[in-house]
Amino acid sequence: MLSIAIPSRNERFLKQTIEDVLKNATGEIEVFPILDGYEPPTEELVHDSRVTYLRIPLGGGETHKRHGINTMAERANGQYIMALDAHCMVAPGFDMQLAKDHQPNWVQVPRRHRLDAEHWCLQTQVDDRPPIDYEYTMYPEKFDPKGLHGFKWDARTRERSHIPIDETMHIQGSAWFMTKEWFKHVGLMQIEGYSGWGQEGEEIVYKTKRAGGKTMSNKNTWYAHLHKGPKYGRMYFMSRESMRACNKFSYNYWVYEDRKTFENMIDQFWPLPSWPTDWRKRIWG
Protein backbone atom coordinates (compact mmCIF):
# COMPACT_ATOMS: atom_id res chain seq x y z
CA MET A 1 0.00 0.00 0.00
CA LEU A 2 1.01 3.61 -0.67
CA SER A 3 -0.07 6.34 1.76
CA ILE A 4 -0.17 9.84 0.24
CA ALA A 5 -0.19 13.16 2.08
CA ILE A 6 -1.58 16.18 0.21
CA PRO A 7 -0.98 19.30 2.34
CA SER A 8 -3.32 22.17 1.57
CA ARG A 9 -4.10 25.66 2.77
CA ASN A 10 -6.88 27.36 0.83
CA GLU A 11 -5.86 25.43 -2.27
CA ARG A 12 -8.09 25.98 -5.28
CA PHE A 13 -7.18 22.66 -6.93
CA LEU A 14 -7.17 20.30 -3.95
CA LYS A 15 -10.26 18.37 -5.05
CA GLN A 16 -8.95 17.88 -8.59
CA THR A 17 -5.61 16.66 -7.22
CA ILE A 18 -7.26 14.10 -4.94
CA GLU A 19 -9.54 12.83 -7.71
CA ASP A 20 -6.62 12.60 -10.13
CA VAL A 21 -4.59 10.52 -7.66
CA LEU A 22 -7.53 8.18 -7.06
CA LYS A 23 -8.15 7.78 -10.78
CA ASN A 24 -4.55 7.11 -11.79
CA ALA A 25 -3.34 4.86 -8.97
CA THR A 26 -3.39 1.21 -10.01
CA GLY A 27 -2.40 -0.30 -6.66
CA GLU A 28 -3.78 -0.03 -3.16
CA ILE A 29 -3.58 3.52 -1.82
CA GLU A 30 -4.86 5.74 0.95
CA VAL A 31 -4.95 9.51 0.64
CA PHE A 32 -4.60 12.00 3.50
CA PRO A 33 -5.48 15.55 2.46
CA ILE A 34 -4.07 17.83 5.18
CA LEU A 35 -6.31 20.84 5.84
CA ASP A 36 -3.99 23.40 7.35
CA GLY A 37 -6.13 25.73 9.42
CA TYR A 38 -9.16 25.90 7.11
CA GLU A 39 -12.24 23.97 6.02
CA PRO A 40 -13.18 23.72 2.31
CA PRO A 41 -16.81 24.08 1.22
CA THR A 42 -18.75 20.84 1.54
CA GLU A 43 -18.96 20.42 -2.22
CA GLU A 44 -15.16 20.47 -2.41
CA LEU A 45 -14.74 17.41 -0.19
CA VAL A 46 -14.08 14.04 -1.82
CA HIS A 47 -16.15 11.17 -0.44
CA ASP A 48 -14.20 7.98 -0.98
CA SER A 49 -13.25 5.19 1.44
CA ARG A 50 -9.59 5.72 0.52
CA VAL A 51 -9.62 9.37 1.59
CA THR A 52 -9.14 10.56 5.18
CA TYR A 53 -8.95 14.30 5.85
CA LEU A 54 -6.50 15.44 8.51
CA ARG A 55 -7.39 18.78 10.07
CA ILE A 56 -4.50 20.76 11.54
CA PRO A 57 -5.53 23.73 13.74
CA LEU A 58 -4.11 27.08 12.70
CA GLY A 59 -2.10 28.89 15.35
CA GLY A 60 0.01 32.02 15.47
CA GLY A 61 -0.38 32.76 11.77
CA GLU A 62 1.97 29.88 10.86
CA THR A 63 1.48 26.90 8.61
CA HIS A 64 2.03 23.35 9.80
CA LYS A 65 2.91 21.31 6.74
CA ARG A 66 5.58 19.33 8.59
CA HIS A 67 3.28 18.48 11.47
CA GLY A 68 0.62 17.32 9.03
CA ILE A 69 3.01 15.05 7.12
CA ASN A 70 4.29 13.60 10.39
CA THR A 71 0.70 12.89 11.43
CA MET A 72 0.12 11.12 8.11
CA ALA A 73 3.28 9.05 8.58
CA GLU A 74 2.11 7.93 12.02
CA ARG A 75 -1.32 6.94 10.75
CA ALA A 76 -0.19 5.49 7.43
CA ASN A 77 -0.93 1.83 6.76
CA GLY A 78 1.28 1.76 3.70
CA GLN A 79 4.78 0.40 3.37
CA TYR A 80 5.43 3.40 1.14
CA ILE A 81 4.60 7.04 1.79
CA MET A 82 4.41 9.98 -0.56
CA ALA A 83 3.79 13.71 -0.34
CA LEU A 84 2.23 15.68 -3.19
CA ASP A 85 1.35 19.35 -3.53
CA ALA A 86 -2.35 20.14 -3.78
CA HIS A 87 -2.11 21.37 -7.38
CA CYS A 88 -0.72 18.36 -9.23
CA MET A 89 -1.78 15.65 -11.65
CA VAL A 90 -0.07 12.27 -11.87
CA ALA A 91 0.67 9.66 -14.52
CA PRO A 92 -1.44 6.49 -14.80
CA GLY A 93 0.14 3.80 -12.63
CA PHE A 94 2.54 6.24 -10.96
CA ASP A 95 2.28 4.36 -7.67
CA MET A 96 3.14 0.91 -9.00
CA GLN A 97 5.99 2.24 -11.16
CA LEU A 98 7.64 3.99 -8.21
CA ALA A 99 7.24 0.90 -6.02
CA LYS A 100 8.60 -1.37 -8.75
CA ASP A 101 11.74 0.74 -9.21
CA HIS A 102 12.37 1.49 -5.54
CA GLN A 103 15.33 0.62 -3.33
CA PRO A 104 15.13 0.84 0.48
CA ASN A 105 17.54 3.76 0.96
CA TRP A 106 16.16 5.87 -1.86
CA VAL A 107 13.89 8.87 -2.05
CA GLN A 108 12.26 9.06 -5.49
CA VAL A 109 10.85 12.03 -7.36
CA PRO A 110 8.94 11.47 -10.61
CA ARG A 111 9.82 13.49 -13.70
CA ARG A 112 8.12 16.89 -13.37
CA HIS A 113 5.99 18.40 -16.10
CA ARG A 114 4.06 21.67 -16.06
CA LEU A 115 0.33 21.65 -15.28
CA ASP A 116 -2.38 23.58 -17.07
CA ALA A 117 -4.76 23.56 -14.12
CA GLU A 118 -7.64 25.33 -15.86
CA HIS A 119 -7.95 22.50 -18.39
CA TRP A 120 -6.36 19.86 -16.13
CA CYS A 121 -3.82 18.67 -18.64
CA LEU A 122 -0.13 18.99 -19.36
CA GLN A 123 0.76 22.56 -20.22
CA THR A 124 1.32 23.09 -23.93
CA GLN A 125 5.04 23.51 -24.51
CA VAL A 126 5.72 26.61 -26.62
CA ASP A 127 9.52 26.56 -26.33
CA ASP A 128 12.33 24.01 -26.05
CA ARG A 129 12.38 23.72 -22.27
CA PRO A 130 12.70 20.08 -21.23
CA PRO A 131 10.76 18.48 -18.37
CA ILE A 132 12.38 18.86 -14.97
CA ASP A 133 14.46 15.82 -14.06
CA TYR A 134 17.26 17.48 -12.10
CA GLU A 135 17.76 20.44 -9.82
CA TYR A 136 20.90 21.85 -8.26
CA THR A 137 21.65 23.91 -5.16
CA MET A 138 22.25 27.49 -6.23
CA TYR A 139 25.30 29.32 -4.92
CA PRO A 140 24.06 30.37 -1.44
CA GLU A 141 25.94 33.65 -1.21
CA LYS A 142 24.01 35.13 -4.13
CA PHE A 143 21.02 35.46 -1.81
CA ASP A 144 20.40 38.08 0.87
CA PRO A 145 20.14 36.60 3.39
CA LYS A 146 22.26 33.59 2.41
CA GLY A 147 20.29 30.40 1.93
CA LEU A 148 19.92 26.99 0.30
CA HIS A 149 17.63 27.09 -2.72
CA GLY A 150 17.22 24.80 -5.69
CA PHE A 151 16.74 25.52 -9.37
CA LYS A 152 15.97 23.39 -12.42
CA TRP A 153 19.06 22.02 -14.15
CA ASP A 154 18.10 21.90 -17.85
CA ALA A 155 21.61 21.15 -19.11
CA ARG A 156 21.88 18.04 -16.95
CA THR A 157 18.40 16.96 -18.03
CA ARG A 158 19.48 17.05 -21.67
CA GLU A 159 22.92 15.50 -21.09
CA ARG A 160 21.58 12.55 -19.11
CA SER A 161 18.29 12.00 -20.94
CA HIS A 162 19.31 8.40 -21.71
CA ILE A 163 19.38 7.42 -18.00
CA PRO A 164 15.88 6.41 -16.83
CA ILE A 165 16.56 6.60 -13.08
CA ASP A 166 19.34 8.89 -11.91
CA GLU A 167 20.51 10.69 -8.79
CA THR A 168 19.57 14.35 -8.40
CA MET A 169 21.22 16.93 -6.18
CA HIS A 170 18.16 18.91 -5.17
CA ILE A 171 14.38 18.60 -5.26
CA GLN A 172 11.56 21.10 -5.20
CA GLY A 173 9.66 19.20 -2.52
CA SER A 174 6.33 19.21 -4.38
CA ALA A 175 6.43 15.40 -4.74
CA TRP A 176 8.49 12.67 -3.11
CA PHE A 177 8.21 8.91 -2.49
CA MET A 178 10.01 6.64 0.00
CA THR A 179 9.38 3.83 2.46
CA LYS A 180 7.83 4.74 5.76
CA GLU A 181 10.79 3.00 7.40
CA TRP A 182 13.29 5.29 5.63
CA PHE A 183 11.26 8.38 6.57
CA LYS A 184 11.49 7.45 10.24
CA HIS A 185 15.08 6.19 10.06
CA VAL A 186 16.34 9.46 8.60
CA GLY A 187 14.13 11.62 10.85
CA LEU A 188 12.44 13.69 8.17
CA MET A 189 10.01 16.56 8.59
CA GLN A 190 11.90 17.79 11.63
CA ILE A 191 9.97 20.41 13.59
CA GLU A 192 12.76 21.86 15.71
CA GLY A 193 14.44 24.77 13.95
CA TYR A 194 12.11 24.73 10.97
CA SER A 195 9.00 26.86 10.60
CA GLY A 196 6.38 27.55 7.97
CA TRP A 197 6.34 25.83 4.59
CA GLY A 198 9.94 25.73 3.56
CA GLN A 199 13.20 23.80 3.19
CA GLU A 200 11.52 20.38 2.99
CA GLY A 201 13.38 19.48 -0.20
CA GLU A 202 16.69 20.59 1.27
CA GLU A 203 16.11 18.59 4.44
CA ILE A 204 15.21 15.47 2.44
CA VAL A 205 18.22 15.48 0.10
CA TYR A 206 20.84 16.34 2.72
CA LYS A 207 19.56 13.97 5.42
CA THR A 208 19.26 11.19 2.86
CA LYS A 209 22.80 11.88 1.68
CA ARG A 210 24.14 11.84 5.24
CA ALA A 211 22.42 8.52 5.95
CA GLY A 212 24.03 6.86 2.91
CA GLY A 213 20.95 7.02 0.71
CA LYS A 214 20.19 8.63 -2.63
CA THR A 215 17.56 11.01 -3.98
CA MET A 216 16.57 9.69 -7.39
CA SER A 217 14.81 11.23 -10.36
CA ASN A 218 12.57 8.58 -11.93
CA LYS A 219 11.81 9.31 -15.58
CA ASN A 220 9.72 6.16 -15.97
CA THR A 221 6.76 8.06 -14.55
CA TRP A 222 5.77 11.69 -14.02
CA TYR A 223 3.66 14.27 -12.30
CA ALA A 224 2.67 17.76 -13.42
CA HIS A 225 2.94 20.70 -11.06
CA LEU A 226 1.22 24.08 -11.26
CA HIS A 227 3.38 27.19 -11.23
CA LYS A 228 1.02 29.57 -9.46
CA GLY A 229 2.73 32.84 -10.37
CA PRO A 230 0.78 36.09 -10.40
CA LYS A 231 -2.26 34.42 -11.98
CA TYR A 232 -3.12 32.35 -8.91
CA GLY A 233 -1.00 33.85 -6.16
CA ARG A 234 -0.01 32.02 -3.00
CA MET A 235 -3.66 31.59 -1.80
CA TYR A 236 -2.57 31.73 1.85
CA PHE A 237 -0.66 33.91 4.32
CA MET A 238 3.01 33.18 4.85
CA SER A 239 5.02 35.01 7.49
CA ARG A 240 8.17 36.48 5.99
CA GLU A 241 9.86 36.40 9.38
CA SER A 242 9.03 32.72 9.77
CA MET A 243 10.42 31.85 6.36
CA ARG A 244 13.60 33.84 6.96
CA ALA A 245 14.11 32.00 10.25
CA CYS A 246 13.54 28.65 8.54
CA ASN A 247 16.00 29.45 5.75
CA LYS A 248 18.60 30.72 8.22
CA PHE A 249 18.35 27.59 10.36
CA SER A 250 18.66 25.29 7.34
CA TYR A 251 21.63 27.20 5.92
CA ASN A 252 23.54 27.34 9.20
CA TYR A 253 22.87 23.69 9.95
CA TRP A 254 24.01 22.20 6.65
CA VAL A 255 26.75 24.66 5.74
CA TYR A 256 28.34 24.99 9.17
CA GLU A 257 27.13 22.33 11.60
CA ASP A 258 27.20 19.51 9.05
CA ARG A 259 29.82 20.85 6.68
CA LYS A 260 30.95 17.36 5.67
CA THR A 261 27.58 16.41 4.14
CA PHE A 262 27.33 19.75 2.37
CA GLU A 263 30.84 19.50 0.91
CA ASN A 264 30.28 15.91 -0.21
CA MET A 265 27.13 16.94 -2.04
CA ILE A 266 28.82 19.82 -3.85
CA ASP A 267 31.85 17.70 -4.77
CA GLN A 268 29.70 14.86 -6.12
CA PHE A 269 27.81 17.09 -8.56
CA TRP A 270 30.59 19.54 -9.40
CA PRO A 271 30.77 21.64 -11.54
CA LEU A 272 27.60 23.54 -10.67
CA PRO A 273 26.07 26.39 -12.68
CA SER A 274 27.23 29.85 -11.53
CA TRP A 275 29.38 28.54 -8.65
CA PRO A 276 32.86 30.08 -8.36
CA THR A 277 35.79 27.68 -8.26
CA ASP A 278 36.94 29.15 -4.94
CA TRP A 279 33.57 28.60 -3.28
CA ARG A 280 35.09 27.01 -0.16
CA LYS A 281 37.20 30.10 0.55
CA ARG A 282 34.28 32.43 -0.08
CA ILE A 283 31.92 30.55 2.20
CA TRP A 284 34.24 29.55 5.05
CA GLY A 285 37.19 31.93 4.61
Q: Stretch 104-124: mean pLDDT, rounded?
A: 96
Domain tally, the chain: 1
Whole-number Å distance between alpha carbons of 215 and 103: 11
Question: How would DSSP label each residue in 227-274?
Answer: --HHHH--SS---HHHHHHHHHHHHHIIIIITHHHHHHHHHHH-S-TT
Question: Residue 37 is which amino acid?
Answer: G
Say if residue 111's pLDDT is above 70: yes
Q: Which pLDDT score is estimated for 182?
A: 98
Taking the alpha carbons at both ends of the chain, their separation in whole angstroms is 49
Query: Which of 57-71, 182-196, 257-271 tops mean pLDDT?
Result: 257-271
* Mean pLDDT, residues 30-45 taken together: 94
Query: Over 80: is that where the pLDDT of 231 sits?
Result: no
Write down the pLDDT at residue 48.
Answer: 98
Check residue 61 and give its pLDDT.
46
> What mean pLDDT is predicted for residues 162-181?
98
Mean pLDDT in the chain? 93
Query: Looking at the predicted structure, is the pLDDT value of residue 216 above 90?
Result: yes
Domain that holds residue 17: 2-284
Give the amino acid at 241. Answer: E
* Higher-scoring residue by pLDDT: 100, 11: 100
Confidence of residue 238 (pLDDT cuts 50, 70, 90): low
Segment 22-36 mean pLDDT: 97
User: In this structure, what CATH number is given to the domain that contains residue 230?
Assistant: 3.90.550.10
pLDDT band at 125 (very low <50, low <70, confident <90, very high): confident
Q: What is the DSSP letter of 116?
A: E
Return the pLDDT at 58.
65
Residue 60 — pLDDT band, cuts 50, 70, 90?
A: very low
pLDDT score for 56: 86
Judged against a pLDDT cut of 70, whether residue 196 lies above it is answered with: no
Q: Which helix (H) or strand (E) holds 98?
A: helix 94-101
186-195, 217-226, 236-245: segment of lowest average pLDDT: 236-245
Predicted TM-score (pTM) of this structure: 0.94
Predicted confidence (pLDDT) at residue 8 exceeds the cutoff of 70: yes
- Percent of the chain at pLDDT > 70 equals 93
